[in-house]
Amino acid sequence: MKQQNRFNQSFIPGEVYLFHRTDPECPADGSLYGIIDKETSDAIHLESSSSDLQTFRHWYRLAEDYRYCRMASRSELRDYIFNLACDECSHLAAGEDHTVEPDASRDRISIG
């Protein structure tokens, strides 16, 4: 039987979730949006995330102090993906490719 994570739920890789440190309702304003990469026995790994839908972070572990989560609504998913695509386009136009997953040997850090 699969061990449950601290959120007591299974995550769907590729789906957008909202995470919050103190508010169980995970309001759109003030929560961390994140796309699930995978779950391991000790961590939840995010493919990308943003707390303001303007600055995005890629390929890291979710910090342990996030206690609450919920799946994004359809409109939150749309807003996240639209802004993520805009961010990626601006980086590509600048000659940067920051969306490629780092080597497995490279340590991933927690957002805090």
In a domain? residue 21: yes
Residue 108 has pLDDT above 80, yes or no: no
Nearest partner of 31 among 2, 73, 85, 82, judged by Cα: 73
Instruction: Tell me the per-residue pLDDT of 64-106, one tens digit each, with 9 for 90 and over.
Output: 999 999 999 999 999 999 999 999 999 888 887 666 665 544 4
In a domain, 57, yes or no: yes
In a domain, 1, yes or no: no
For residue 109, being part of any structural domain is answered with no
Whether the full predicted model's pTM is greater than 0.85, yes or no, is no
Higher pLDDT: 110 or 13? It is 13
pLDDT digits 0-9 by tens, 13-31: 999 999 999 999 999 999 9
Range of the domain at 62: 16-93
Closest CA to 56 of 101, 98, 108: 98
Domain count, the chain: 1
* Cβ pair 69, 23 in contact under 8 A: no
